[in-house]
Amino acid sequence: MSTIEKNSNEADKLWGGRFTESTDAFVEAFTASITFDKRLYKHDIAGSKAHAKMLQKVGILTPQEVDDIHTGLDEIIEDIEAGNFEWSIQLEDIHMNIEARLTDKIGITGKKLHTGRSRNDQVATDIRLWLREQIDLISAELKRLQSGLVEVAEREAETILPGFTHLQVAQPITFGHHMMAWYEMLVRDFERLQDCRKRVNILPLGAAALAGTTYPIDRDYTAELLGFDCASNNSLDSVSDRDFAIEFISAASLIMMHLSRFSEELVLWTSAQFNFINLPDRFCTGSSIMPQKKNPDVPELVRGKTGRVYGNLISLLTIMKSQPLAYNKDNQEDKEPLFDTVDTLLGSLRAFADMMPHVTTNEESMRQAAMQGFSTATDLADYLVGKDMPFRDAHEVVGNAVAYGVETGKDLSEMTLEELQKFSDVIGKEVFEVLTLEGSVSARNHLGGTAPAQVLARVAEAKS
Ligand code: ARG
């Protein structure tokens, strides 16, 4: 698909009637959107077909005319997909490129298609149709990633690793629990997308340029043909509103923020210092100078790409800021940030969904790490509370035992009963059950806790 650039004669323009000189060649290229909005061709054509059918229903076009329009538009889709459509900068955007070609193909009837509509309501319709489809694709990728996480969670429901706060070892947790924490973030992301979709799925067409049209149009019928939930209520708002796109990029930013957090953990966990997990070679790359390197490029890149989605959100908010009603050319700047957001998000989700089920764990390293930070100290305090000691006193006793452990290089579970009893004589030999990593995680057996039984319960729910 090539884009030709030529200086035009005013007579060639679909809007050339009132002009007395040709558009400046640079201005023509500067104001055109065809280089990026050609991506909307299918949705533009779907909108036009529905609009034509509606015009027939209300008696403005004849069945023969609508037939010709539909046939011409179908041919245009074929031409575009076969690479036989020459995009023209002179025709500015996707709407006029298609309309001009339709008129070439079917003659005067092609010129009737634009009755009762404007590019202002047309472009708003195209973006909504396109975005609705993208939201469905993104939702499917989200679900696929969730399934991958659930799969790993089930497999690693009992695998122990240290849980962190402040990136300091805090308490032992299960790997499955950690995977399901990511899963829960995506549950909210999915809901946000579905909620946003409701406000995307509203038909602006019929608003025409800004005030509506003098023709007896049937907007409910057009909405129904295009699968919109309803038609919009105010023509001025319909052509100028881009809230739905901003909402979508906000939801996308949150998803990227989550992926970026996952990425950060994967990068840490694959480092030699942690050595908790392995990523398959096919998701990593090497170094051109250091032969030993296997770099976690996919998570790093996803972490980096998060920045562009945040940038797109700020772009769109700023594009809309201070715009008076109704349509302004500023709005043409909505498409590139929106397209880039969808591409970035879909790519990032796809990479994660492909990769996550193949992550493997290094159980021994994770156990060692969990043993190193006195991660069962809270369990010892809880044990003392069970012996009727107030929690604050228990905290103090365990603090003393930890100080001794730091001095002697011993974990709490590695001390003898006599050593532990120096800090409190209520400690008995059954204390060692709570000081093991397994004892610690299984004891947290309530809704939302890290016990393998709880992980598996949530996994079962997630699967159903
Ligand atoms: N290419 C334009 C856009 O993307 C289409 C609408 C143009 N309308 C106009 N009156 N110039 O927003």
**CATH number of the CATH domain containing 281:** 1.20.200.10
Q: In the prediction, which pLDDT does 287 show? A: 82
Are residue 58 and residue 189 in the same domain, yes or no?
A: no
Q: Where is 165: in which H helix or E strand?
A: strand 160-165
Q: Please give the pLDDT value at position 4.
A: 52
Mean pLDDT across 345-372: 96
pLDDT at 11 over 80: no
The answer on pLDDT for 170 being more than 50 is: yes
% of the chain surpassing 90 pLDDT: 92
CA of 214 to the centre of ligand 1 (A): 21
352 and 381 part of one domain: no
Residue 50 lies in a domain: yes
Q: For strands 360-361 and 277-278, give the pairing.
A: antiparallel
- Of 335, 350, 367, the one marking the end of a domain is 367
- Tell me the per-residue pLDDT of 268-319, one tens digit each, with 9 for 90 and over: 999 999 999 999 999 998 888 888 888 999 999 999 999 999 999 999 999 9
**What integer is the mean pLDDT of 368-385?**
94
Burial 111-128 (b: 16+ CB within 10 A, else e): ebbbebbbbbbbbbbbbb
The widest CA-to-CA distance across the chain, in whole angstroms, is 101
Domain that holds residue 85: 23-115
- Asked if 207 contacts 177 with a C-beta cutoff of 8 angstroms, the reply is no
Q: Band the pLDDT of 18: cuts 50, 70, 90.
A: confident
Residue 254, C-beta contacts closer than 8 angstroms, at least 6 positions apart: 188, 189, 192
What is the Å distance from ligand 1's center to 45 Cα? 16
Instruction: Identify the residue whose tokens are 């472009």.
Output: 123
DSSP 51-68: HHHHHHHTTSS-HHHHHH
- Specify the pLDDT at position 12: 72
353 and 421, same domain (yes or no): no
Residue 226, pLDDT above cutoff 70? yes
Is the four-CA dihedral 454, 456, 459, 460 of positive or negative sign?
Answer: negative
3-state secondary structure of 172: strand
The residue out of 367, 401, 416 marking a domain boundary is 367
* pLDDT of 238 strictly over 80: yes
The per-residue pLDDT for 6 is 45
pLDDT tens across 1-10, in order?
A: 445 544 445 5
User: Residue 66 has which token pair?
Assistant: 């609508």
Residue 232: partners with Cβ closer than 8 Å, 6 or more residues away:
202, 203, 204, 207, 238, 241
- At 10 the pLDDT is 55
Tokens of 189: 């992301």
Under the banding of pLDDT at 50, 70 and 90, the label for residue 373 is confident
- Predicted confidence band at 353 (pLDDT cuts at 50, 70, 90)? very high
CA distance 149 to 178: 10
**CA-to-CA distance for 129 and 222, rounded, in angstroms?**
13
State the CB neighbour count (10 A cutoff) for residue 64.
10
Same-domain check for residues 448 and 307: no
Mean pLDDT value across the chain: 95
Atom of ligand 1 at shortest distance to CA of 335? 4
User: Do 255 and 125 fall within a single domain?
Assistant: yes
CATH of the domain at 41: 1.10.275.10
CB neighbours of 51 closer than 8 A, spacing ≥ 6?
113, 116, 117, 205, 222
Do both 310 and 441 map to the same domain?
Answer: no
In a shared domain, residues 106 and 126: no
Rounded to whole angstroms, the Cα distance separating 102 from 155 reads 57
CATH of the domain at 456: 1.10.40.30
Tell me the average pLDDT across 376-395: 96
Q: Say if 355 falls within a structural domain.
A: yes
Return the best residue to mutate from 34, 120, 339 for the ligand 1 pocket (most ligand atoms within 8 A of CB): 120
Rounded (5°) CA angle 59-61-62: 90
Q: Which atom of ligand 1 is nearest to the CA of 32?
A: 1
Domain co-membership, 127 together with 263 = yes
* Tokens matching residue 351: 């990479």
Q: What is the mean pLDDT of residues 202-217?
A: 98
Average pLDDT on 53-59 reads 98
**Same domain for 261 and 404?**
no
State whether the beta carbon of 122 lies less than 6 angstroms from ligand 1. Answer: no
Q: What gap in Å lies between CA 188 and CA 237, rounded to an integer?
A: 29
H helical segments located in 82-164: 94-106, 119-155
pLDDT bracket for residue 13 (50, 70, 90): confident
* Within a domain: 129: yes
d(CA 346, CA 248): 13
- The pLDDT, as a whole number, for residue 14 is 83
pLDDT band at 384; cut points 50, 70, 90: very high
Asked, for residue 167, whether it belongs to a domain, the answer is no
Q: Does the annotation mark 22 as catalytic?
A: no
The SS3 call for residue 238 is helix
Neighbours of 55 (CB within 10 A): 24
Tell me, using a 6 A CB cutoff, whether residue 241 lines ligand 1.
no
Angle formed at CA 257 by CA 251 and CA 301, multiple of 5 degrees? 120
**Residue 322 domain-assigned?**
yes
In a domain, 13, yes or no: no
pLDDT for res 16 = 80
Q: Is residue 439 part of a domain?
A: yes
Number of domains present in the structure of the chain: 3
Residue 89 Cβ < 6 Å to ligand 1 = no
* In a shared domain, residues 107 and 62: yes
CA of 118 to the centre of ligand 1 (A): 9
Residue type at 151?
Answer: E
Handedness of CA 20, 24, 29, 31 (dihedral sign): negative
Among 48, 178, 238, 287, the one annotated catalytic? 287
pLDDT digits (tens, 9 = 90+) for 135-159: 999 999 999 999 999 999 999 999 9
In a domain, 221, yes or no: yes
Note if 287 is an active site residue: yes
What is the CB neighbour count within 10 angstroms for residue 307?
12
Q: Verify that 201 and 139 share a domain, yes or no.
A: yes
Query: Which residue out of 166, 288, 322, 446 is catalytically annotated?
Result: 166
Same domain (yes/no): 154, 293: yes
Domain boundary among 308, 339, 367: 367
Q: How far is the CA of 330 from the centre of ligand 1 (A)?
A: 9
Residue-level pLDDT at 289: 82
Q: Which of 206, 199, 233, 1 is nearest to 94 (CA)?
A: 1
Distance 458 CA to ligand 1 centre (A): 49
Q: Rg of the chain over CA atoms, in angstroms?
A: 31
